[in-house]
Amino acid sequence: MSDILHTSSRQEFVTLTDIEMNRVFALDNLRQRLFNRKQGIEQQDWEAMRQQFLSATSSERAELLFINRLIADYGSSLPRIKYLFESTPKELLEEELINTRSELIARMGGFEIGKHWIRCMKSSDNDDTWVYTARKIWGRQGSISAEEVDRFFTMLDEIAILTDILNGQGATYGIDFKPQKSVARKLMARYSISLEAVDDILNAINKYMKGKNQPKSLVMPARAAVEGGAITRPAHPDFIEMFPLAKDVAKSSYNDYMNPMNTPYDDAVFEQMKKEFEDIADRFSD
């Protein structure tokens, strides 16, 4: 079916939360568990394995096929990812990695098995949720084409490795990359109302900063976050480190706009921002 026909259905996948993103695509623990399971099977003698294969149900065969394919495809996308590093300026790299991952997720949500994987995995953190996709592909009623299976595992490998790299695990793949977001998370944890709220706060502040270039506009979301009760006031060096878009905001300007005795923001836009941070604070205050 044409990708165009799936445009609306894939929108739900483009806006995965950070928790959902890791649940669906941070696969390191899953790979290790499945590798251990595979080793356990292969350590049996041939007669025991023969009987296991001959008596296997369609679901058990589907799971074994999935395990072998996931492990066999691991790292197959690395040449494409390394080319991305070679062909992108350092200052644009993190944004390019995020955009590439988002595009791949949107495409994955445009065909049957990709959509099934995302919906199943994001709905549960159960260790065995992957079996439903295995059975969907190779179970008794499985009717997924070999072409679609190939496309699924190719995309899954690339998205998963991009997720690992964006989570600060680039060294695993021989890639020297320190994501800004991981630095920002550590810093924001000092000021956030709770550790669980960190990603929501960072995402909201970055969203409101995007496209702005004046100090007043760049500091505005942070002031709204403070007044909304989501964070305490960050120190100026941490603010600059967390939000590269604000790297040129001088300490004196930052202090003026963050000073509670000053009221530089008194419009509806600021109140809307403040309300969003109040909502975040309410969600994570318990």
**In the predicted model, is pLDDT for residue 227 greater than 50?**
yes
Tell me which residue of 234, 223, 231 sits closest to 267, measured CA to CA. Answer: 223
pTM, two decimals, is: 0.67
- For the stretch 46-87, pLDDT in tens is 998 888 889 989 999 999 999 999 999 999 999 999 999 999
Q: How confident is the model at residue 3 (pLDDT cuts 50, 70, 90)?
A: very low
| Each residue's pLDDT tens digit, 87-128 | 999 888 988 998 999 999 999 999 999 999 999 998 877 778
SS (H, E, C) 22-82: HHHHCCHHHHHHHHHHHHHHHCCCHHHHHHHHHCCCHHHHHHHHHHHHHHHHCCCCHHHHH
Give the span between the Cα atoms of 170 and 274, in whole angstroms.
Answer: 36
Going by pLDDT thresholds of 50, 70 and 90, the confidence category of residue 13 is low
What DSSP character marks residue 197?
A: G
Comparing CA positions, the residue from 35, 61, 83 lying closest to residue 137 is 61
Q: What pLDDT is recorded for position 6?
A: 40
Inter-CA distances, 216 with 144, 221, 234, 251, Å: 54, 10, 16, 12
Give the per-residue pLDDT at 201.
Answer: 94
Distance CA 42, CA 180 (A): 42
Mean predicted lDDT score pLDDT of the chain: 89
For residue 208 the two structure tokens come to 């409101």
Q: What is the pLDDT of residue 124?
A: 77
| pLDDT, position 1 | 34
pLDDT for 232 equals: 97
Residue 192's beta-bridge partner residues? Answer: 231
What's the pLDDT band for 179 if we cut at 50, 70, 90?
confident
* Of 194, 162, 192, 195, nearest in space to 179 by CA: 162
Percent of the chain scoring above 90 in pLDDT: 65
